[in-house]
Amino acid sequence: MTTESTATAEALFDLGALGDAFIRDPYPVYARLRARGPVHRVRIPEGAEAWLVVGYEAGRALLADQRLSKSWQSASPSLGLSKVSSGTNMLGSDAPTHTRLRKLVAREFTPRRMEQLAPRIQEMTDRLLDSMTAGPVRSADLVKALSFPLPMAVICELLGVPSLDRQAFREWSNIAVSSLDAEARGRASAAMTDYLAGLIAQKRAAPGDDLMSALIHTSDDDGDQLSPDELSGMAWLLLVAGHETTVNLISNGVLSLLTHPGQLDLLRADFGLIDNAVEETLRYEGPVETPTYRFTTEPIEVAGSVIPGGGELVLVAMADCDRDPARFPDGDRFDITRDARGHVAFGHGIHYCLGAPLARIEARIALRSLLERCPELRLDIEPADLSWRTGMLIRGPESLPVAW
């Protein structure tokens, strides 16, 4: 390893010290780091030290590298981090546990099954837009009116938990995945865990024709079933991941279109571009900035820099991977006609997002329906005045004022 690459890897860069400017627009920071090399020692806004990997080639490779563990048992105690999610789930486990858990639920999330939900998702979308556009007021917070309630309604119906206290769950979820306050994250996680235990108990007592009931009773050909701890973890993952990413995919898609009027005009002129517009949103302003934590199980060399073993925290800047000009020319330009295939907004490797087909369908229906219903849709706030989600996991505006 060269002296230069050693310095690049070991110099600590404090991302938290950059404040709101980094939260609003992290892309220039990532680009400057990428120009120096793919591996950087950083302090994240949550306070922990980590190894940040930028650039498409290095990032994509590490997302699939199973020398990086997703299990919290692999994390070094010196990091001072605590697990947020309850139970054992796919996102926090390695093979073979991950393989087993994913096998038990993958059959419920095939693209064909998800596409069968499209008519129902359209009905939900139409109802939400009816409410948003009713009455004399021609403005709304799109997050509250559409981006949040649609994915939450879809995942609740899919799981069979219509009685979910959605506002409370939204607040807990926001804090658990975005707050920089470790104690607040812990309280929110504990509240969600207790709440989910009650939902699971209700579903055991009165099973229905839904995914939660299927998860309680499902088994593979060998009779394998989810344990109570695994069931709690799976419910947590499906409810949180099942709405958080899609909320911000919809919001980011609308924001990107409204701030790029030429691209908006192209889409209005040809809604055949809607699927490509969703893919370009995922690439350009994806809802996940960096994935959930990975920990080293042995030293890993990346382009001449060595990331030590022993449970070091590694974050792949997926937001930067998808703007790397080496993979996507002119990557900072939003262009719904480009070929955005190959982006890593849903991850890569064995942890590729199981709900990707559902998120794409929801975003496609929400964006098209909104633009057809509100042909004069516009932002009702200066983009620079938007407040963004904190932390480095979820990327999206906390609210999105629009008018029509």
pLDDT in tens, 229-271: 888 888 888 888 888 899 999 999 999 999 999 999 999 999 9
β pairing state of 68-69 and 378-379 = unpaired
Number of H-type helices and E-type strands within the chain: 17, 11
pLDDT score at 1: 39
CA pair distance 272, 266, nearest whole angstrom: 10
Q: Confirm if 177 and 84 have CB atoms less than 8 A apart.
A: yes
CA pair distance 353, 348, nearest whole angstrom: 8
Q: How far is CA 13 from CA 18, 39, 234, 300, 332, in A?
A: 10, 11, 35, 20, 23
State both tokens at 123: 């009905």
CA pair distance 146, 300, nearest whole angstrom: 43
State both tokens at 1: 């390893």
Q: List phi, psi (to 5°) of 328.
A: -125, 95
Q: Taking the domains of the chain in order of start, what are their residue ranges?
A: 3-403
CA pair distance 139, 278, nearest whole angstrom: 24
Of 381, 322, 387, 365, nearest in space to 115 by CA: 365
Residues (pLDDT < 70) of the chain are 1-10, 218-224
For domain 3-403, give the CATH number. 1.10.630.10
To the nearest 10 degrees (0 to 180), the angle between helices 182-205 and 166-178 is: 140
pLDDT score at 223: 61
Average pLDDT along the chain = 91
Q: pTM value?
A: 0.92
Q: Confirm if 343 and 322 have CB atoms less than 8 A apart.
A: yes
pLDDT score at 190: 87
Strand partners of residue 50: 42
